[in-house]
Amino acid sequence: MAENIETLLKTSTVYHPTDQTLDQAYIKDYEAAYNASIADPETFWADVAKELEWFSPWDKVLEWNYPWAKWFLGGTCNISYNCLDRHVNSWRKNKVAVIWVGETGEERIFTYAELARQVNRCANALKSLGLNTGDRVTIYLPKIPEQIVAMLACARIGLIHSVVYSGFSAPALESRIKDAEARLIITADYGYDRGKPINLKTVVDQAVANCPTIETSIVVRREKPGIALTDRELDWEEWLAGHSTQCQAEPLDSETPLYFLYTSGTTGKPKGVVHVHGGYMVGTYITTKYVFDLKDEDVYFCVADPGWVTGHSYIVYGPLLNGATILTAEGKPDYPDPGRWWHLIEKYGVSIFYTTPTAIRLLMKYGEDWPGRYDLSTLRVLGSVGEPINPEAWEWFHRVTGGDKPIMDTWWQTETGAILVTPLPCVPLKPGSATRPFLGIEADVVDKAGNSIGTGGGFAVIKKPWPSMMRTIHNDPERYLGYWNNIPGCYTAGDVCHKDEDGYFWFMGRADDVVKVAGNRIGTAEVESALVSHESVVEAAVIGKPHQTAGEMIKAFVILKQGERDTPDLITALKTHVQTELGKIAVPREIEVVTALPKTRSGKIMRRVLKAKELGQDPGDISTLEE
């Protein structure tokens, strides 16, 4: 199966996105490989796992007691060993592993050998504090190399890391520390946002004051002279000094927890998603390899932060498992100017670029002149993640990067650990569609009873377990069961989706982001895409509001392009435009012009917050909102 896909990737051509005629020869070969992986998923996943190194082999590939799964039972491994030692013991020893660029242009480069030395020193320092396998470490760092080092060091000796995005407030950080019962926190004095220093240490001090499990704080002091520290606080560099650069990776059972990552629901406290060494390692390894057609000569640039699952899976673990060269950059895409990312792509010869629809739309606002100033010819594969990408943004991204690069529109979640629905570079593309399930993933679109819909719209589900799936919600297994009990026999993602005649998946947003107008289900993403396709609109968010006769009505919030004015004529024009694009049923009854939309710090528009505000309701957990 693997050989078939790798042959397709080697011989694939680039498909023009506006050509809806699918290459039937490629589709036939791809379907043959996919169908084989679904017919015998245990063999498929075992073959993938064999490409990695295990301290001892597994006795059983899968134990499935619905809805609880264990993968590679009896096998022992260590994801940090596979990210580092596997390459240090090969010709990749002196290959560049990580290129980091700070907001001010500061550059730091780590080969695999140097990264391993730093990780080993950190692992030994962690041991010196009396931390043992299974203990939790909270990592609250800006996007700097120490973040990656700390994650890999924890994994190396069986500690569970809980990375908290450095934009979170003290109460949000406190709640995550308490739920994880962390013994240690690793932080920094400052992060930087558009040239402004953000005092992280103050946030940590406020949070830790109410967290009795925290015994020690480690502080990366970026500013000189360094801030004063208390007896319970240690400077990062001084803490590491004197520790050996040699540290054996612990052989861990494949089901040993690797990390907790907290994700917000619509209500209640954040959920501590639990991922483990073995299955997560296998899932992130193979999806990175195949989805991005990763080659040894590539320079891979993912714009996420390791504070989010995309950064965990597709900056740190997936690329390092593959021995990739990773570019990671602190700062915003339009600071100090809108050419920031395009400049980095040119300077470092980036060949794989993985970003978000939100970022693409932001850059669209500044026009095509900015990307046109830079040489982007090294780009080979593009990617999109975070939410459905509207076709207009897809087309713009495709056009300004040369018009000949395939875009991998990936769908997955914190809970899934790795990409589940995605193109491969050898699969014909349709702008706005995540195409088909990844190998070994049995995805479908069903009704509320779990019946497959075929072509048409319904709920996105996964019907069989996969290695990188979360194992539980920390301290709350009942919330884990909720993912499997909503629709019989399926993992319910909570997303609405439809399949077309070619079996391509078109994600329309969260189930609670679908408006039912006079019995017709209207996806908010569809209306938003129509609004953004108007020349005056740069971004849009759509919600449903109660309506006396239609059940629900559509309300839209739009951000206008620079220079555009909010006038009654423009509102009328926008409504006419949506009617032309989607039909009368999809026209918003109300359109409000705004200057900003509520978003998580990972870039997702929080439509439920807009809806709660509109209806005068409690918005629930908003700890992930960007200020």
Q: Which residues pair with 458 in a beta bridge?
A: 497
Within-domain flag for 525: yes
Q: Which residues pair with 263 in a beta bridge?
A: 271
Q: What was the pLDDT predicted at 6? A: 74
Within-domain flag for 227: yes
Within-domain flag for 141: yes
What confidence tier does 547 reach under pLDDT thresholds 50, 70, 90? confident
What confidence tier does 445 reach under pLDDT thresholds 50, 70, 90? very high
- 12/446: higher pLDDT: 446
Mean pLDDT of 407-414: 95
Q: What was the pLDDT predicted at 555? A: 95
What confidence tier does 518 reach under pLDDT thresholds 50, 70, 90? low
Is-contact 182 138, C-beta < 8 A? yes
Within-domain flag for 269: no
| Domain end point (choices 231, 252, 273) | 252
Helices (H), 475-606: 477-485, 524-532, 568-582
How many separate domains does the chain show? 2
Nearest to residue 170, comparing CAs of 190, 199, 135, 213? Answer: 199
Nearest to residue 469, comparing CAs of 161, 101, 62? Answer: 62
Nearest to residue 277, comparing CAs of 133, 74, 79, 48? Answer: 79
Q: Is the peptide bond before 225 cis (omega within 30 degrees of 0)?
A: yes
Q: Is the peptide bond before 336 cis (omega within 30 degrees of 0)?
A: yes
DSSP for 276-291, please give it: EHHHHHHHHHHHHHHH
Range of weakest confidence among 39-53, 132-146, 468-482, 579-593: 579-593
Q: Phi and psi dihedrals of 10, rounded to 5?
A: -70, -30
532 pLDDT exceeds 70?
yes
Within-domain flag for 436: no
- Using DSSP bridges, classify how beta strands 107-111 and 96-101 pair: parallel, antiparallel or unpaired: antiparallel
Q: What was the pLDDT predicted at 449? A: 92
| Domain end point (choices 252, 267, 285) | 252
Mean pLDDT of 64-77: 98
Tell me the angle at which helices 112-128 and 145-156 cross, rounded to the nearest 10 degrees.
60
Strand spans (E) along 132-226:
136-140, 160-163, 184-188, 190-193, 196-199, 216-220
21 pLDDT exceeds 90?
no
| Domain end point (choices 226, 252, 278) | 252
- Using DSSP bridges, classify how beta strands 196-199 and 190-193 pair: parallel, antiparallel or unpaired: antiparallel
Q: What is the CATH number of the domain that holds 122?
A: 3.40.50.12780
Q: What was the pLDDT predicted at 521? A: 60
Q: What range defines the domain where residue 172 resides?
A: 90-252
Within-domain flag for 608: yes
Nearest to residue 16, comparing CAs of 344, 292, 406, 326? Answer: 406
Is-contact 487 462, C-beta < 8 A? no
What are 480's two structure tokens?
A: 């884990």
Within-domain flag for 212: yes
CA 527 to CA 454: how far, in whole Å?
23
Within-domain flag for 398: no
What are 260's two structure tokens?
A: 């907790």
What confidence tier does 16 reach under pLDDT thresholds 50, 70, 90? very low
Q: What was the pLDDT predicted at 388? A: 85
pLDDT digits (tens, 9 = 90+) for 114-167: 999 999 999 999 999 999 999 999 999 999 999 999 999 999 999 999 999 998
Q: What percentage of the chain reaches a pLDDT higher than 70?
A: 92
What confidence tier does 14 reach under pLDDT thresholds 50, 70, 90? very low
Q: What was the pLDDT predicted at 551? A: 73
614 pLDDT exceeds 70?
yes
375 pLDDT exceeds 50?
yes
199 pLDDT exceeds 80?
yes
Query: Mean pLDDT for the chain?
Result: 91
Mean pLDDT of 377-405: 93
What confidence tier does 10 reach under pLDDT thresholds 50, 70, 90? low
259 pLDDT exceeds 70?
yes
pLDDT digits (tens, 9 = 90+) for 483-504: 999 998 999 988 889 999 989 9
Q: Is the peptide bond before 67 cis (omega within 30 degrees of 0)?
A: yes
Mean pLDDT of 225-254: 96
What confidence tier does 1 reach under pLDDT thresholds 50, 70, 90? low
Mean pLDDT of 469-485: 96
Q: What percentage of the chain reaches a pLDDT higher than 90?
A: 72
Is-contact 222 189, C-beta < 8 A? yes
Count CA within 13 A, CB hemisphere, residue 17: 25
DSSP for 442-506, please give it: -EEEE-TT--B-SSEEEEEEE-S--TTS--EETT-HHHHHHHHHSSTTSEEEEEEEEE-TT--EE
Q: What was the pLDDT predicted at 603? A: 75
Is-contact 187 204, C-beta < 8 A? yes
Q: What was the pLDDT predicted at 581? A: 79
Could you tell me the CA-to-CA distances from 548 to 517, 544, 552, 569, 584 in Å, in that order?
A: 11, 13, 8, 27, 18
